[in-house]
Structure formats: structure tokens, C-alpha cells
Chains A and B, each alone.
Chain A
Amino acid sequence: MELLQNVAFGFSVVLQPANLLACFAGVFVGTLVGVLPGIGPVATMSILFPATYAMSPTASIIMMAGIYYGAMYGGSTTSILVNIPGEAASVVTCLDGYQMARRGRAGPALGIAAFGSFIAGTLSVAGIMLMAPPLARIALDFGPPEIFTLLLLGFTMITYLSSGSKLKAAAMALLGFFLGTVGLDPITASPRFTLGTVTLTDGIGLVPMIMGLFGISEVLLNLEQGADHEVFTARIAGLLPTREDWARSLGPIGRGSVLGFLLGILPGIGSIIPTFISYALEKRVSRHPERFGTGAIEGVAGPEAANNAATGGAMIPLLTLGIAPNVVMAVLLGAFLVHGVQPGPLMIKEHPEIFWGVVASMYVGNAMLLVLNLPLIGLWVQLLRVPYAVLFPLILLFCVIGVYSISGNTWDVVLMLVFGVVGYLMRKFGYEPAPLVLAYVLGRLAEESIRQSLLLSRGDLSILLSRPLAAMFLVAALVIAIAPLVRPALRRLRSAS
């Protein structure tokens, strides 16, 4: 009963005109950047970050969240029509989505992606409503040792799940942690690594770092490799999937939703990994796995549901623990903090309008996306025909405006360009920027919690093992850290025997 009351309260918040407008703006812009390759939700949220200063905390978080799940919708359009992912989480959709388009079934592919995303988004919102309040109550018992070990678990998972070299991912996470120590010490307030400058006293800005590593570096790489592409030009008709399409898609959508939501909760997963797992799962359970890769609608429905459900799952650790499980959530965490709201176990009690308003907005936003996406497909197709030579200067310009407008300091723009070059080189040398940014954002919390733990225990590290939850997180982190070392040894042993 209390849940229903809270949900009704959430809807009363989101249906206020300003919040409704913010929700619309978020999902519209999100879809737009999702459609456009080369600019993702992280860069867009950063660009629009300063524009939210004048908005209420609720409206700005609603808009930011809308950009995230809107981008998941938009990304599929580019995957299906152009065979390149508009957004990283839509890579898998290219496999069967584009094949469907080539066979004259672009309409049903786009349709099932939109419906699947809507169903998954709705289910994940229900999941948040049911799971977040009890988890927040558990999180109230979290002290510094639990927080530190949970963060440690998150970082080992980021490293373990990285697509490239684990060692390189570990190096990036450590570098991110280290960059997070630049600025004033959180406990004694003495300056560290500021090089005697005032600009670095507040630490390295998150927005210049993200815009550089993700926005600028992406453009520089695209310029080198050439990013113009052929848009699938055949007429798109019949967006509504047939009865047979539905029969084949409902199972994948259901499984993708549950999988995406549960995986999205875990730190370090993001929304890309669930799509790959969903695709593999659908191929395995299918009676005709040979059809995958040739235009099987299940290969679109499952992953598209999974990436949308993961966005909902990722909100849980942010809203209940104040911990960002992926880079997009890190930007959202920044938006909360700018507005003086500390996400965490107390947020549901202290700011119910934000918590329930944002959760309800995700439902409203998903409905808007469904209404918006199907009729606007034509517009998105036109947008995809804009040549990159026109697009990239504007993307760069928006990055500069986004960074400059926060502080009015040109050195922040210079910092962004430095990170742009660093990000460009990192990608060329096979280093991923995501572990660096995530470690940077959570580094301060990790440092505070380990130092507080040591103060509490008078320097005794066994405090991390003497509390059950902390011990559980620590053991899980150790198992994940050791796994890549043990597995080859086991394989060698097995082949020897």
C-alpha cells in the first residue's frame, strides 16, 4: 500500500509541467545523440550539465536520466539502418538488425527495438520501485569498511570485465584513482599535486576529463579513420511487428529485461555487457541458432531489452548507496552533488520528491520514447545523412562550450584538450578510458572510507574482515582478482593431465 502511495506521489511530481518538459527534453536529446554516431550519452550529459544549474534538482536529474535511456533507444536506429552502432550498447543490434533491414524488414526491426526497449524499461522501473527501498534500509548499516570493500569489488569487476587487457584496465583504474587525489586532501584539507596552481586546488574537473576522454578523442579518431558511411536508403514501411514477430520476440524481451536489470545493478557492468550475454543466451535457447546473424528478430529484441533494463538496474546502487556503477551514473552522481543532494540510503527519506519523481519519470519517459520514436524515424534517418564534415566541428564546439560555461576558465578547456589527446592515444594503444573515469569519480570516497576504517580500527586492517558484509565483498573481490591468474594455470594442468 505504501509503495502505491509512493508511486502515486512520484507521478504527481513528474507530471508537473517543468518536470514533464525536462523529461521530454532529456529523452528527445538522448535519442538524438543515440542516433548520431560519435557522440554518446556521457558527452551529452556533460555538455548539458551547466544548463541544469538553473533548473530544480528534480527536473535536472529527470532530464539527465532521460538522456541516458533515450540514447539506448536512439542507438538501435543507427545500428539497424547504417550497420554501425549509434551508441556502444547497440553494437550487438547491428548483427541481426542490419540484416533485417537488408531484407526489407527495417520497419519491424525498428519497431521491435522500440517496443522491446519500452517493455524492458517499464519492467526495470518496477524493479527499482520494489528493490530500492529495502536495499536502502540495508545500506543504512554500511560503514566505511563496507563502502571501501564494495568499491574494491567494483574496481576488480571493472578490470575483470574489460574487453581488452586486464592489466591495462587495472593500470587505468589505478591512474584514475591517483588523479582523484589531486586537489585538497579530504580529511586534512592540505593541497596535493596542485603544482602550485589555483586551478588544480579543487582537483581535476570531472567534466573536462570526460569530455576530453570520450568526446574529443572520439572525434580525433573518427577524423583519422574517416567516419562517413552509407545510410540504408530503402523506404521504411510497416513499423509494427507482425503476430509472428511478436511470438518470436516476447521470450527474448522478457529474458533480456531480467538479465539486463540484474546485471545492471552490479558495479562495472554498464549496459554493453548485458546485450552480448542476452544475444548469446537467445542463440543458445533458440531452435534455429543458424538464423542468428542473418536477420533473426530475436537477436534484436533480446539485446535491445537488455540494454534498456540495465539503465534501470544501474540506478539502484546510485540511489541507495550513492555509488556510481558506471561512467554515465558517475555523471549523474555529479549532477546530484552540484544540486546539493547526496544520493544514498537517506535520500528516499530526505528527498522523496527526487527519488520517486525520477523513478516515475523513467516510466513516463519510456512511454514518451515509444510515441516519439516510431513517428520520428524519418527525421532520424535524415539526421544520419548529415555528413561528418559538418557534424564534427559542431560536436567539438559543444564540448568547448560545455566545459567553458561551468567555470568560465579557459584552462579547463585546455585541460579538456589535454585529456582529448590522452584519450586518443589511449585508444590507439588499447587502453580503455572507462575504468580511469570511474576510478577517478569514486576514488575520493574510497580514500575517505579506507582512512576512516584505519582510524576506527587504530591501524588494524583486519577490520575489513571482521564485519560480515565487508568480508563478503573483500573475498568476492579477491576471487575475481585472482581468477585471470588461476584460470590459465588450471588449463595448463588439465591439458598436461
Chain B
Amino acid sequence: MRARDAGAAGFLSAFAVAALVGARHLAVGTMRVPGPGFFPLVLASALLLVALALLVQALRAPRPARDAAAPVSAPAARLRPALTLVALVGYVFLMEPAGFTLATAALLAVLFTIVAPSRWPLALGGSVVAAGAVYVVFRLWLRVQLPAGPWGF
């Protein structure tokens, strides 16, 4: 059994079941006059079949001795995507109350230091300059709509 593949297939199967339940709540109609639920029902059923086939395939596959093909990354490296995501989620909710430029400078400072923590003074300076440059290019030049915040920038 391959636990990773089985887990992914199991998740897909659960999604397909949820989709099937959701589609059943819509008017399916008939073959002559298919309703809004017709296509989703067909798709969810097909997805469930394929997901179950993937599950069976994963369960029947021999367990790999040690997955040599998948390189195991260091714990610090594995932490980087998670930290980046947390910073991005924080940024999204900070953008409107704090304004684009300030929030962007904060985001960039955090992201710059995630990979090279020892060079934080440079990261701080670089993030302020970069946030200002991005504001000039996107807001003032390309006239892209960006959250203004209490300071207007």
C-alpha cells in the first residue's frame, strides 16, 4: 500500500461524494430536458469512479521500501512554505485596514528574511524601497486599483 497515494485518492473520493450529495439537491431533469443538476451529477459520479480506481490502485501497490524517488527536505526547508503562506494570509487581511504600501513593505520584509534571516537590516531597507517602487508602477503608472488604507496609499 502507498499511504500518500491512498490518502490523496481517499480525499478525492470524499470530495466526489460531497459533490454527488450537492448535485442531488439540484434539479436533475430528464434526458429530454436536462436540468442544472444533470451535468454535475454525471461529473461527480465519474469522479467518484476514477477516485475509487485510484484508491484501489494505491492499496494494491507494493509499499516502497523507502521512497527513494521523493527527496526528503530538511525540516527548516519544509517550514518555509508554511511561513510564507501565513505571511500571505496576514497580508491579505492587513491590506485594506493598513493600506497597500505599508502592508506590502511588511510582507516583503518578512518574506525576504524567511530565506536569509541573517540579513534582516538589508531586508528591511529593501522591502521599503520595493514597496514604494511597486506602488509607483502599479498604482500611479498602470492605474491598478489597490487598497488605499487610512493614509491614502
Contact = CB atoms under 8 A, between A and B. Distances in A.
Interface in A193-245: 193, 219-221, 223-226
A104 interface: no
Contact of A459 (B30, B88, B111): B30
Interface of B: 4-5, 8, 12, 15, 19, 22, 26-27, 30-40, 43-44, 46-47, 50-51, 53-54, 57, 71, 73, 77-78, 80-81, 84-85, 88-89, 91-93, 95-96, 104, 107-108, 111-112, 114-116, 126-127, 130, 134, 138, 142-147
B77 A451 contact: no
Contacts, number: 144
A429 B4 contact: yes
Interface residues of A, number: 58
A225 B73 contact: yes
A483 B76 CA distance: 45
Interface in A425-463: 425, 429-431, 447, 450-451, 454-455, 458-459, 461
A414 B96 CA distance: 14
Given A401-B134, A417-B88, A223 B115 contact: yes
B8 to A, nearest CB: 4
Interface in A10-51: 50-51
A404 B147 CA distance: 9
Contacts of A167: 50, 53-54, 57
A193 to B, nearest CB: 6
Contacts of B54: 165, 167-168, 171
Contact of B89 (A51, A417, A455): A417
A223 B80 CA distance: 6
A219 B84 CA distance: 10
13 contacts: A51-B142, A171-B50, A177-B43, A224-B78, A390-B126, A393-B107, A393-B130, A397-B104, A397-B108, A401-B138, A414-B92, A429-B4, A461-B31
A233 B46 CA distance: 52
Contacts of B114: 223
A397 B57 CA distance: 40
Given A168-B54, A174-B47, 14 more contacts: A54-B143, A175-B12, A181-B40, A187-B36, A223-B81, A224-B77, A224-B81, A226-B77, A393-B108, A393-B112, A401-B146, A414-B92, A431-B8, A454-B34
A123 B85 CA distance: 45
Nearest to B109: A393
A404 B100 CA distance: 11
A431 B58 CA distance: 14
Contacts of A50: 144
Contacts of B96: 410
Q: Which applies to chain A's interface (DSSP): helix, strand, loop or mixed?
A: helix
B22 A405 contact: no
Contacts of B40: 178, 181, 192-193
Centre residue among A177, A193, A397, A425 by max chain B CB count within 10 A: A397
A170 B50 CA distance: 7
Given A167-B53, A171-B50, A389 B115 contact: yes
Given A171-B12, A451-B39, A459-B30, A397 B107 contact: yes
Interface in A371-408: 388-390, 392-394, 396-397, 400-401, 404-405, 408
Instruction: Return the 5 tightest CB-CB contacts between A and B, nearest first.
Output: A459-B31, A393-B111, A459-B32, A185-B36, A389-B115
Contacts of A177: 43
Given A167-B53, A431-B8, A410 B92 contact: yes
Centre residue among A167, A174, A431 by max chain B CB count within 10 A: A174
Contact of B95 (A188, A226, A404, A431): A404
A489 B33 CA distance: 40
Interface in A150-206: 165, 167-168, 170-171, 174-175, 177-178, 181, 185, 187-188, 190, 192-193
A421 interface: yes
Contacts of B47: 171, 174-175, 178
B46 to A, nearest CB: 5
A190 B35 CA distance: 10
B38 A451 contact: yes
Interface in A469-497: none
Contact of B80 (A171, A190, A224, A461): A224
A178 B39 CA distance: 8
B115 A388 contact: yes
Contacts of B37: 192
Nearest to B89: A417
B88 A171 contact: no
A489 B146 CA distance: 58
A183 B22 CA distance: 13
Given A178-B40, A188-B35, A397 B134 contact: yes
B11 to A, nearest CB: 9
B92 A417 contact: yes
A61 interface: no
Contacts of B127: 393
Contact of A413 (B8, B15, B80, B92): B92
A292 interface: no
Contact of A405 (B46, B92, B104, B146): B146
A276 interface: no
Contacts of A417: 85, 88-89, 92
A171 B114 CA distance: 35
Given A171-B12, A393-B111, A400 B91 contact: yes
A424 interface: yes
